[in-house]
Amino acid sequence: MAYVITFEGIDGTGKGTQMDRLAALLNARGLRVKVLSFPIYDSFFGSEVGAFLTGRDGVRADTVDGKSMALWFALDRFEAFRRFDMSDCDVLLINRYVLSNAVYQSIRDCDLGKPDLLDFILSLEHEHYGIPRPDLILLFDMDLEAAANNVDRKGFRDYVGNGRDIYESIPAIQLRAREKYLAYAARLDSVSVIPCMEGGRLKSIDEIGVLVDAAVAERLPIV
């Protein structure tokens, strides 16, 4: 069975960049690597998630009940893993996964004062839908200004064009998301926090990569 490593953090923390870098490193060492990124916006459920995140069908993601919104993200993964073959890879790297679902459905204005959804979403995705549990969750921690600048440099994306989606465009959501990620990291043994800032400076891709490699080497026998 493949090792599953997931990349988490607020929008703009360089998850995709570090996933691609680690994939290249592991491939160079002879490991069979597959990568996934969620949501899958050209899938049935992922397309609906994209509609919520942009409000293009008149319903905004920040107004939908947390459990209801969580189901769309979970079903996108469930559909993907019904078709996905993990038998021919040694390592599966995933950009955004179950922890993102728990975070972002717990920190919008409509979620405040309601019960925490972490246990519900972990049970929904891993136990009810049978989605693989990650062996290691890499959490990229970055201040909001640096992350927002990275989002604005992403360029065109299929589901949102050249702009930001609803979650990306609300600083309060990003602030609460960062805080919630760190709170969940303290509760989950599988999370390794990757600090992307030092003295107010954003670390380079290579500097962050060294931390990623060390975290993987500490937890898994593949680096």
Instruction: For residue range 164-212, list pLDDT tens digits in order.
Output: 777 777 888 899 999 999 999 999 999 999 999 999 999 999 999 999 9
Helix boundaries (H) for the chain: 15-28, 44-54, 66-83, 98-104, 118-122, 144-152, 171-187, 205-219
Q: Is the pLDDT of residue 83 over 80?
A: yes
Q: Are 216 and 1 in contact (CB under 8 A)?
A: no
Domain 3-219 = CATH 3.40.50.300: yes
CA gap 181, 118 in Å, rounded? 11
Question: What are 81's two structure tokens?
Answer: 């893993």
List the helix and strand counts (H, then E) for the chain: 8, 7
pTM of the model: 0.93
Average pLDDT, the chain: 92
Q: What are residue 36's DSSP bridge partners? A: 94
Q: Are 138 and 34 in contact (CB under 8 A)?
A: no
Query: Residue ranges per domain, the chain?
Result: 3-219
Instruction: For residue range 99-151, list pLDDT tens digits in order.
Output: 999 999 999 888 888 999 999 999 999 999 999 999 999 999 999 888 888 77
Residue 78: burial class (beta carbons within 10 Å; 0-12, 13-18, 19+): middle
**57-65 own/partner pairs: CB under 8 Å, 24+ apart:** 60/166, 61/108, 61/165, 61/166, 61/167, 62/108, 62/109, 62/110, 62/166, 62/167, 62/170, 62/173, 63/110, 64/110, 65/110
What is the average per-residue pLDDT within 60-85?
A: 93
CA gap 173, 109 in Å, rounded? 8
CA gap 143, 30 in Å, rounded? 35
